[in-house]
Structure 1
């Protein structure tokens, strides 16, 4: 493994365990038993390191979402949390320290906002297509759908923020997360949509 990747992996683990504010580049160097200069050769600042980790997380998420079932949109939405769960755990500090990261790093904050806006545009199109398929309630206007997307994002963040060390010993944690996230959309489905929802998730 290249030194740059070792630095990122070590920093990510330290950020997840201690919080990004409590970890310095010197500590990353010490953990790896390499010089501080070796770390700053690859990442001049902690800001640069965190931005690089964020881009890795986005790229890994995009790779997984390539498997999204566009032929069966409702099933695709319900299965998505199952596939993104591991990535969310891998980069847990982005959820736990979300507000602090946004406040501390303007460039990362702007990127987060732009990526979120782009993601919502794509999700909105999926929700609108579900309405055309009479799986999602037709009376919901774009403003309602936008609220639903914001609420979904907030719930995902809330789930990971509230994890405790003992939760990671729970073998059913991923399944609980999938149910937790998907329960949000259930009341907004039509009778037809609810039947399909139950057939997919049992």
Structure 2
């Protein structure tokens, strides 16, 4: 059996940093701790990342890359209600994977100015994508909403997405949260659309929402 190639030190640093940041919060982890956990010298760590800020920047670039890989919609395609549900699921799943960015976003953007502007761009891209799906539904008469209402809903969905983990951590301060909390966030975001759906689309929404309503 062919042995798997060893991961490069840089990849190991990023993998462990993401795990620790997610587990206890980025502000509670030091570069020294990361080096000790990996059994590498400070000099070796510095060779790859001159400080913790560089690690955070690199992780954010991985996050941004995945956003563009998974959350950029095909232009000109007629979107459905299921597309919106799927898009939000992917968005929340990605937020969970890089949850250190979302558990305290104010702290992250205030401590890392380089991340702040790019984080704003990511949220803007996501809001435009959601607005595009909603506009597609409205054009076919499946959503009764004006352009202003669509923009407002898209922004409100991003508010839920960006603050959901903080909300859950406040609600369950002494519990280890699992990824299932993100599915509930998707339902809350989707619920903003429900009152404006056509009768046919409301039936489709009720079908998609059934697993959440039965909990």
- What is the TM-score of this pair, normalised by structure 2? 0.80
Q: Distance in 2 between matches of 1:96 and 1:54?
A: 14
1:12–1:85: structure 2 CA closer, same or farther, 3 Å change rule? same
1:157–1:35: structure 2 CA closer, same or farther, 3 Å change rule? same
Q: Following TM superposition, by how much is the alpha carbon of 1:188 offset from its aligned partner in structure 2, in angstroms?
A: 2.8
Give the gaps of 5 or more residues in structure 2.
1-6, 211-215
Q: Distance in 2 between matches of 1:175 and 1:120?
A: 19
Q: Following TM superposition, by how much is the alpha carbon of 1:3 offset from its aligned partner in structure 2, in angstroms?
A: 0.9
Aligned residue number for residue 43 of structure 2: 37
RMSD over aligned Cα atoms: 2.5
Aligned residue number for residue 73 of structure 1: 80
- What is the TM-score of this pair, normalised by structure 1? 0.84
Matches within 5 A, 1:174-185: 175-185=183-193
Aligned residue number for residue 144 of structure 2: 137
Q: Deviations over 1:87-129 (max 9, x none)?
A: 2222111001200111111111111112222333333222222
Does residue 60 (structure 1) correspond to residue 66 (structure 2)? The answer is yes
Matches within 5 A, 1:74-89: 74-89=81-96
Retained in 2: the 8 A contact 1:51–1:108? yes
Aligned length: 198
